Amino acid sequence: MPTAEAIAQSGDRVSNSAVIQRTFSVLEAVAASGCAAAKTVATRLEIPLPTVYRLLNELADSGYLVYLKDTKRFELGPKCFELGLSFQQRLVAPHPIRQITDQLHRSLGTAAYFAIYRGSDIILTYCSDCEKHPRLRPLRFGFHEAAHATAFGKILLAGMPEPQRTDYLEARGMQVLTPQTMISREALDPHLAEVATRGIAWEHEEFLPRQTCAAVPVRNGTGMQVGAMAISTPSSKMVGRAKEVESTLREHAGLASSYLRGGSVTVPVAEHA
Amino acid sequence: MPTAEAIAQSGDRVSNSAVIQRTFSVLEAVAASGCAAAKTVATRLEIPLPTVYRLLNELADSGYLVYLKDTKRFELGPKCFELGLSFQQRLVAPHPIRQITDQLHRSLGTAAYFAIYRGSDIILTYCSDCEKHPRLRPLRFGFHEAAHATAFGKILLAGMPEPQRTDYLEARGMQVLTPQTMISREALDPHLAEVATRGIAWEHEEFLPRQTCAAVPVRNGTGMQVGAMAISTPSSKMVGRAKEVESTLREHAGLASSYLRGGSVTVPVAEHA
DNA sequence: TCCTCATTCTCACCACATGAAAAAGTCGAT
DNA sequence: ATCGACTTTTTCATGTGGTGAGAATGAGGA
């Protein structure tokens, strides 16, 4: 129920269609509970039962839900899975980028990452890791919500025009993740300025304790920063390796940039694990 | 536009709401093209432009789409990804089952699978593989569409009551995948009867050339078949191992069944790769 | 600056979503 | 079988609110 003030605050029009909103709220209610009986949904959303049934059946007919006769519950249907797949297929880093990231992973013996801007979001489009060099657990393919606290987040924030960065940070806030996390613009802004000039972002235990990350920009044909290549590793394994990490990271980011520039296939040197 | 005959043919009521149907058709149009301009969608779906804009904006406001100003295109939004995640989290096999499947994978040196019924679908809820023992490429977490041609599909088909099996097969057809694929009920039904009595399904190059699979049932507390545990391996590696594979498969399926029966945690024996 | 295309607004029309109430299924237990 | 306690669907009068042609506005590009 969008209040008048909510409308005033947010710029977006809330002239929205009731049916569609309700349909999605029903779908999301089912998604949130994993499975839900019609009555439960009706109660939780305060929508009369016949209407809920209409919407649930509509969703089931369209394949977004399925009705399980045995439990008399609705669950998410194939279309939800397909939407997730489409999203993934559209956004996962292209093959050469994945190869370069894999090679970075092997070269440095660290987890490696590739992330991009999309609209006003930051999306992690590829993670390369293994049992010996695991990725940071909270990081996985998908939207990244803690840009202020990760190396690739910071390099991407540093590459944003000021107003957009402010929008970004105000929309998601700056969560405290470790004692080292920078949680004020006063701390972050100068840091990002330095990140921007140096062209590399380091992150020391700001996201997870005892973990260090580094990231450098990846640019497209027009020289615009479009993404970031990053690594993460236990801080203990980083001592004295900063130079090596930086140069290897830059080398691989350069490969990624030239792929994006040329479109021509960059052949990554074969390596042994 | 559902015609009168369409209504007559399919049993499902097509009293559906136009708005909702249109909304999803727009969403799916965007999903299918990866990204789409408003005009493209309007043309393809034959919906007037202002209406398409309303629906696209609605979807964008709800987070199912995002509007990319630079390309003037709509793409799938965060909610689509979340739906996919919810689906996955809800359906992925529980941890003990995954462990048991992993152990089966290691014990036999084959890719290993766990699949279940859900409603009238067959869902592959876990794959365990590695570089040395890769899974069959087309198989991945999610809905399984070629039950007639895989071992776990056949064991699950064999466990269905007759009318449901017919529904299942008629709804999806029986695609020809290899020269060995059984594509008629005349061939399949006796085979499934035998599968049911023996309690194991073998599949020899019916799904992919030069690949062999085997599957056995997994049962819940009431003794009802609820899933299947399966392996796949190159046929060349199978010669003379049928007995060993069968007993190891049964052993692990038994562990899975007793987990489902007891809920108590079955401790899988640690193994070395 | 103009021109073109993308996007939103306006508004009268009436389709169709709505939800209370009642009927029809479904299933388990006695 | 017979009841009872549900889940689910149908009915139907009401008026909300979705609709789309057309016009206006906005955003870039040459």
Q: Where are the domains of chain A?
A: 4-83, 92-262
For B10-57, how does the pLDDT look when each residue is reduced to its tens digit (9 = 90+)?
333 456 888 999 999 999 999 999 999 999 999 999 999 999 999 999
CATH of segment(s) A4-83: 1.10.10.10
pLDDT at A75 over 50: yes
Cα distance between residue A124 and residue A140, in whole Å: 7
Give the per-residue pLDDT at A13. Answer: 44
Reading the block at residue A18, the tokens are: 């009731």
List the nucleotides on chain C closer than 7 A to a protein CB: 6-10, 15-22, 27
Rounded-to-10 torsion of CA A247, A249, A254, A260: 180
**B210: nearest Cα among B185, B174, B180:** B180
- In this complex, the residue of A14, A54, A85 whose CB is nearest that of residue B84 is A85
Helix (H, G, I), strand (E, B), or coil: what is residue A106?
Answer: helix
Reading the block at residue B222, the tokens are: 């009431």
Please check whether residue A105 is in contact with residue A130, taking contact to mean a CB–CB distance below 8 angstroms.
yes
Cα distance between residue A230 and residue A232, in whole Å: 7
CB contact under 8 A, A80 and B90: no
Whether A21 contacts chain B with CB within 8 A: yes
Whether B256 contacts chain A with CB within 8 A: no
Give the per-residue pLDDT at B184. Answer: 95
Q: What is the fold of A92-262?
A: Beta-Lactamase (3.30.450)
Q: Is the pTM above the cut of 0.85? A: yes
Q: Tell me, in Å, how far CA of A191 is from C1' of C26?
A: 66
Judged by CB atoms within 8 Å, which residues 103-132 of B form the interface with A? Answer: 118-119, 121
CB contact under 8 A, B83 and A86: no
Whole-number average pLDDT of chain B: 91
Best probe of the A interface among B81, B124, B131, B141, by most A CBs < 10 A, is: B81
User: What pairing do the DSSP bridges indicate for beta strands B211-219 and B201-204?
Assistant: antiparallel
Distance from CA of B81 to the nearest CA of A (A): 5
Cα distance between residue A20 and residue B55, in whole Å: 9
Which of the four pLDDT bands, split at 50, 70 and 90, describes residue A2? very low
What are the Cα distances from residue A251, in Å, to A81, A155, A268, B54? 37, 16, 11, 46
